[in-house]
Amino acid sequence: MADCPWDIHQKGARGAARHYPLLTLERIKALPVAELAEDDAHLWLWTTNSALRDAFDVAEAWGFIVRSPLTWVKFSLGLGHYLRNSTEHLLFATRGRAPVRFRSQPTWINAPVQEHSHKPEEQYAVIERISHPPYLELFARRRPPSDKPWFVWGNEVDADIVIPGYPVPSDRTRKE
């Protein structure tokens, strides 16, 4: 799963740039996700409405084909240039022959908004219900509330992996 720090429509006074460093679309596409993932794998990629087209391009650059969006319907209105956003999307993508474990998941979840960029905890249950372990969360802000085998990487967690060219603070404390 990845919740990328998109450098797209995020620089306003109330945008994501106030909360964490952003990456350009080119840097996101260049992440070595294809090397990190199994040959037969699922990708769960968070995107906003304004970055939806770019998210499809990112999934393709990482070697995946988007199969379906899972839409998070929020309890409150957000910002928007044209319409007030009250949804985000978790794109489900595959590569190779990666079967799903559960076929009755609706294409939406309804959950409250928490602090900036905090995705609903329900995402972990959905992913664990559909995809086989192990799991990797890129750009994680906290460890998943799960007893399943999750690995994390991001600026705000003690990362379990190192991604060359994409340093995070915990890389400095990692023992060689």
Q: What is the 3-state secondary structure (H, E, C) of 87-101?
A: EEEEEEEEECCCCCC
Q: What is the pLDDT of residues 6-18, one digit of tens each?
A: 987 555 555 555 5
Other CB atoms within a 10 A radius of the CB of residue 44 amount to: 19
Cis peptide before 149 (omega within 30 of 0): no
Q: What is the pLDDT of residues 23-63, one digit of tens each?
A: 999 999 999 999 999 999 999 999 999 899 999 999 999 99
pLDDT, greater one: 111 or 106: 106
The continuous run of DSSP H or E covering 152 comes out as strand 150-153
Long-range contacts of 5-10 (CB under 8 A, 24+ apart): 5/139, 6/47, 6/48, 6/51, 6/54, 8/50, 8/51, 8/54, 9/48, 9/50, 9/51, 9/81
How far is residue 172 from each of residues 21, 23, 74, 139, 165, measured CA to CA in Å?
18, 20, 37, 17, 13
Domain ranges of the chain: 2-174
3-state SS class at 135:
strand
Please name the residue that has the structure tokens 């995809």.
131
What is the structure's pLDDT at 75? Answer: 82
Look at residues 29, 24, 26 and name the one whose alpha carbon lies nearest to residue 11.
Answer: 24
Look at residues 125, 65, 131 and name the one whose alpha carbon lies nearest to residue 103.
Answer: 131
Could you tell me which CATH class the domain 2-174 is placed in? alpha beta
Do residues 141 and 157 make contact, with C-beta atoms less than 8 angstroms apart? yes
What is the mean pLDDT of the segment spanning 62-77? 93
- Local confidence band at 119 (pLDDT 50, 70, 90 cut-offs): confident
**Model-level pTM?**
0.88
